[in-house]
Structure 1
């Protein structure tokens, strides 16, 4: 099926922790989504309630990913869904895991996957940035070998929190093999740049789009006459990010690819939340 306008809409399964892969694929298809972005990472076995980052039932283990490819393909194809990208967590310095993921992605017929660059350690930002760029040269070679583009995500508290930092990171890399995921929800927390400019800055390296929303939360400091602020995830309709303006900028930029939702708000029950997110995207993207 086709989503509103020129965009195709998927859900990243990190945001579907309560559902099994079969349940997720079936429910997304029933609601009218175009695709599913599978989360791939080894995690501790569930010990209680399912959570986004621990005990997520809609996650495929990295350790068995290649063996699981036939089942993943069957579940996805049975639901009539596409796979815009793989939500993987193996960093560019974990090259054996990156290659394992790319082999599996190629077997699955997926043409791109996330390969994070991480955050700086004791060596500092500049040294980490230079080292990760060196490591990404090997990632780019694997991307060309397997036909699976490596994607760097704009993410707060990482080496590439803004479009400008990501553009500097991917400078010199072939956009056929290395791309960037635009993520306005992450950029709210760090790295936000005016939507049209951020897309222009990324240029040909813009390969995928994630959307979610967030809002600042006030926290009074005990014993002090001041307030601290932190960012909390918000429903798509009610956060700080102006998503209608983002879609207008995407259309103006000529982007007509996939948009994946990763909504980590919890005010609304999961099934209702996912259903309304698609309705909202259709409202603002046409």
Structure 2
């Protein structure tokens, strides 16, 4: 397995500083959040070349560009066309940076509120994205995420069955799945099977109300709930069964750490990286 830092954790830093801190952490690569000030579909060619050169100098890979475009299931046709255009530009950037995966959003609403037409529309546009990505041998990533069509393994497979390309797969995310209250242990890894393309790691905990640093609100099957972003071991999302399952199935892909707990960015990622290594070392 290879480890990457999520540049979104370092949004208070420039992308250059984020890359240097990732190297200092001892990670293999950086997953770049595709939004400014780090990177976007409007980023200039000289800055892309600068990022590429710095990655080479640091010996860092850029396996994933974490796009925020999409939302196809509920967007208008014009909005979908714009998202598709933005995706194609990010695809070009990914090819230049040597990225093998790009994240897109299928859209919402929560899976338990969605209808067949939401899945059908998302699949239509995802197929278009996947067809373009396939030309560059790049994989399309959908993140198992609360408040989306793909907030469980079952709803993820429901959408994937409507797609026509084998370069579309899932990001497993225990933190998100904890929020949804869906299984995120061994069965979730085994059931995703060949559709497991990537892994995100972060911890969360339910709290009584939002407002304090690191807290946020989310719509779940219970209604609006409050959560606190936490460092691994300080929240309620138990990652050990997931890591055990990754070893069991022989997962050889990337794991991105994206802790957003209210601590300095380097400190929280360093804490989580050490925690992950301990979990992986357990027999």
Same fold flag (TM > 0.5): yes
* CA distance in structure 1 between the partners assigned to 2:104 and 2:150 by the alignment: 12
* Alignment pair present for 1:95 and 2:89: no
Quick one: distance in 2 between partners of 1:124 and 1:194? 21
Distance 1:29 1:194, change over 3 A: closer
1:78 and 2:68 are equivalent in the alignment: no
For structure 2, which runs of at least 5 residues remain unmatched after alignment?
A: 73-79, 211-223
Counterpart position of 2:216: none
1:271-286 alignment to 2 at 5 Å? 271-286=266-281
Change in Cα spacing, 1:212 to 1:20, as seen in structure 2 (3 Å) is same
Distance 1:216 1:186 in 2: 12
8 Å CA contact retained: 2:186, 2:241? no
1:21 matches 2:15: yes
Q: 3, 18, 35: which is aligned to 1:9?
A: 3
Q: Alpha-carbon deviation of 1:67?
A: 5.0
| Partner of residue 115, structure 1 | 104
- Alignment map for 1:1-286 (pairs within 5 Å): 7-42=1-36, 57=37, 59-64=38-43, 66=45, 68-91=47-70, 93=80, 94-120=83-109, 125-171=115-161, 173=163, 176-190=166-180, 192-219=182-209, 229-266=225-262, 268-286=263-281
Give deviations 1:133-184, integer Å, cap 9, x for gaps.
Answer: 1111111211211211111110000011011111111126466411111111
* 8 Å contact from structure 2 (residues 108, 114) kept in 1: no
Q: Distance in 1 between the 2:87 and 2:181 partners?
A: 26
Name segments (4+ residues, structure 1) moved above 6 Å: none
Q: Which moved more, 1:204-213 or 1:253-262?
A: 253-262
Partner Cα separation in structure 1 for residue 181 and residue 5 of structure 2: 23
Inter-partner Cα distance in structure 1 for 2:164 and 2:180? 26
CA contact (8 A) 2:124 2:163 kept: no
Hey, what's the Cα distance between the residues in 2 that align with 1:39 and 1:124? 27
Q: How many residues align?
A: 256
CA distance in 1, matches of 2:65, 2:201: 16
Query: Which residues of structure 1 form unaligned runs of 5+?
Result: 1-6, 43-56, 221-227
Q: Structure 1 pair 203/211, CA: closer, same or farther in 2 (3 Å)? A: same
Q: What RMSD, in angstroms, separates the aligned Cα atoms of the two structures?
A: 2.2
Aligned partner of residue 248 in structure 1, secondary structure? helix
